[in-house]
Amino acid sequence: MTTERPRVPTNLITGFLGVGKTTTILNLLSQRPADERWAILVNEFGEVGIDGAILGGSGSEGVVVSEIAGGCFCCSSSEPLDFSLIELLHQTKPQRVLIEPTGLGHPAAVLDTLRGPWFRELIDLRATICVADPADFATPRIAASPVFQDQLHMSDIVLVNKTDRAPSEQTAAFLTHLLELFPPKLQIICTTHGHCDAALLDADISALRVPLFPNAHPPQTASASSDQPAPVAMLLPGKPIRKESPQNDRAACGWIFSPFDRFSRLALMEALGGSLEVHRLKGVFNVGAEWLLFNRVGGDLTCESIPYCRDSRIEVILDQPCYDWTEFERVLLACLK
């Protein structure tokens, strides 16, 4: 007689580019019960996995990270999500799954897939959490985005992040907007650095939330990836692999460097905070004594130490449809020691 396996609690962690989804997940991982195995499924916008590298290098035992790279799985066919999630469930047998779509991802198709016949007996879909930045709501172009609006509309809980950087009147206006949404949110929480109570994951959801803009995305492609590093023989020092991945109206490009490449911290600070107008930039670099995570949203660049120590890599997204990346690559190479 076979014993039926319990359904796995599963949460969608959504939110726009640069709001702090990965930082929020890291905070949730820090609260993981020691006897539980958690799995993270990350959808990367570009071909070079940065979020997966950060989560996979977080030093957390009992955490398995898998990636789907090269576009939004929310706006492609559901096959990459189906395949990757089923594989993750069967191979790792987790006690919880967290799914992080790309910041430009529409949540409707993902939630439909998770509620569909493939997963009805495998997962127990719990609260959807949207991480949001008041500054995005104060930016008309972003506030008008159907993806941004539906990320908020379809979430059960909104985590209003980066409130330490937002003017009080900006945060107040955003909170007023959130309180007017229907169905109402279970919780609206103001925070900084993605701090939140892991108990939110198991909040009691009841309202059925439908998208305001179900057709916001045209079909694209996404490919499952285990984020295995390219062989060292292919990553020659000073000769990075470049992967361009334009999506819709945004140019995006990523680079993976040899594990033997070492960078100057000061040169990186100057180069990555330079004149190129980026929407989103995220990279991990070997600077010799340590590895650093560089994070830039708009003109705001931050840098912090990270446990990850595999290869240096960076992903850049612009608010324009095309770009010649040759000069930016030259700037990156000039940062090598």
**Whether residue 64 has pLDDT greater than 50:** yes
- Mean pLDDT computed over every residue of the chain: 86
The label of the residue with tokens 């500054």 reads: 135
**Whether residue 78 has pLDDT greater than 60:** no
- Structure confidence at residue 9 (pLDDT): 96
- Structure confidence at residue 159 (pLDDT): 98
**Sign for the pseudo-dihedral over CA of 12, 94, 63, 49:** negative
The tokens describing 30, both together, are 């820090």
- In order of 255, 273, 317, the CA distances from 245 in angstroms are 11, 22, 9
What value does the mean pLDDT take over residues 161-190? 96
First to last CA, the chain: 63
Burial 220-242 (b: 16+ CB within 10 A, else e): eebbbbebeeeeeeebeeeebbb
Note whether 336 and 261 are within 8 A (CB).
Answer: yes
pLDDT band at 236 (very low <50, low <70, confident <90, very high): confident
Note whether 128 and 201 are within 8 A (CB).
Answer: no
Residue with the larger pLDDT of the pair 260 and 230: 260
The tokens describing 122, both together, are 């495998």
Domains of the chain: 8-202 (3.40.50.300), 234-333 (3.30.1220.10)
- In order of 166, 231, 235, 258, 335, the CA distances from 261 in angstroms are 37, 14, 10, 5, 10
What value does the mean pLDDT take over residues 56-84? 69
pLDDT tens per residue, range 6-54: 899 999 999 998 899 999 999 999 999 999 999 999 887 666 777 777 7
Note whether 97 and 39 are within 8 A (CB).
Answer: yes
**Whether residue 137 has pLDDT greater than 90:** yes
pLDDT band at 140 (very low <50, low <70, confident <90, very high): very high
What value does the mean pLDDT take over residues 218-231? 44
Q: Which helix (H) or strand (E) holds 139?
A: none
